[in-house]
Copies of this chain bind each other. A is one copy, B any other.
Amino acid sequence: MTINIPATVGMSVEDIDTPCLLVELDAFERNVAKLAKFIKDNGLRHRAHAKTHKSSDIAIYQIEKGGACGVCCQKVSEAEALVSAGIRDVLVSNEVVSPKKIERLAALATRARVIVCVDDLDNVDDLSAGAQKYGATIECLVEIDVGAGRCGVTPGEPAVKIAKKIHAAPGLRFSGLQAYQGKAQHAYDYAERKALIKAAIEETANTIQLLKAEGLDCDIVAGAGTGTFEMEGTSGVYNELQCGSYIFMDADYQRVKDGNGKFISEFENSLFIYTSVMSKTKADKAICDAGLKAQSVDSGMPVIYGRTDVEYIKCSDEHGVINDPHNVLRLNEKLKLVPSHCDPTVNVYDWYVAVRNGRVEALWPVTARGMTL
């Protein structure tokens, strides 16, 4: 709806309506370039994770300027939105098991390269039937659980069994392994993260060997997120990374330090919740207009960017409470919040306001906002 658009192109940042999502383009572009260099230097592919941004503008930028070979997403409806925007190489890095979603996935595979994850033998039959119905080929990665305890079969023989069934199934193609260690990404301690990924790499390498013994090659060995990509990327085992948050960063990812105690790869904050003080009746507090409906607080409160004198301490549906011990904030004053968790925060917005040098350069729709199906 037009009535909820927070800015117009060319406008000064000060004039943007709040709360809204800001992307600082210079920082965003430096983040994209930094990962592109790592990928190139290490002879890898990067399948950029669109679950973070849900934006066709950003996905196309990552492919055209950031060296990405294609995108990942987590939902069939996200894949549909991205294919409709012209992207022709999409991995749904998740299982697709319901009859309706399998139909949609198969239909989509007639319009683009479509890859999906599989962790169930019966699901192979269903995907095969869907693909045949649409005359499509669906590429499949067997997802192995390398420690996250979520989706995925046990590495080794259980994975091989599914791979063989995929290989034999009409309409499907066995393309490799999905081996994402989700639990490791936000392990703040470097040594702990390293140990978790070491185990994941070993289990993945072992499964690749077992598959090879059955004559099954893995074109794709996929995984890795922003917290650990340097580990998988230099393993000699993984060949396709799936980083998402690196473009934006968030308060939680900034608690994840590298081996030198620095932010991972020195990625910069480029995503902010822009908010205004909308009530100032107390000397030591200010109320801002970004509450629970302007973010996800699953990973804690947002951090006020560039300020140590004020602190965002709690929130309710439409309000954030800011400690203002020196009584410096004024009504209508604007602040930039670093979201605690970027992915689910982006998901509540319709627009990114992309800014550079204090001006609005572009408005990007959150193309797949709310695409849960």
Q: CB within 8 Å of B: which residues of A?
A: 1, 3-4, 6, 17-20, 51, 74-75, 77, 80-81, 94-98, 100-101, 104, 119-120, 122-123, 145, 149-154, 182, 276, 278-282, 285, 287, 289-290, 292-294, 296-298, 316-319, 321, 331-332, 341, 343-344, 347-350, 369-373
CB distance A281 to B153 under 8 Å?
Answer: yes
Residues of B close to A282: CB separation below 8 A: 149
A218 to B373, CA, bound (A): 49
Could you tell me the distance in whole angstroms from the C-beta of A289 to the nearest C-beta in chain B? 8
Contacts beyond the supplied A1-B81, A97-B331, A150-B279: 19 A-B pairs with Cβ under 8 Å: A3-B373, A51-B317, A51-B318, A74-B317, A94-B278, A96-B278, A119-B279, A122-B331, A150-B287, A151-B319, A292-B298, A293-B343, A293-B370, A294-B372, A296-B297, A297-B298, A317-B343, A348-B372, A370-B370
Could you tell me the distance in whole angstroms from the C-beta of A26 to the nearest C-beta in chain B? 25
Lowest 8 CB-CB distances: which A-B pairs, in order?
Answer: A151-B279, A292-B344, A74-B318, A293-B347, A19-B372, A3-B80, A317-B343, A4-B77
A285 to B148, CA, bound (A): 13
Chain B residue nearest to A366 in the complex (CB)? B370
Could you tell me the distance in whole angstroms from the C-beta of A2 to the nearest C-beta in chain B? 10
A293 to B104, CA, bound (A): 21
A151 to B291, CA, bound (A): 13
Given contact pairs A372-B293, A373-B4, A373-B17, A318 touches B279 in the complex (Cβ within 8 A): no
Residues of B close to A344: CB separation below 8 A: 292-293, 317
Residues of B close to A77: CB separation below 8 A: 3-4
CB distance A18 to B98 under 8 Å?
Answer: yes
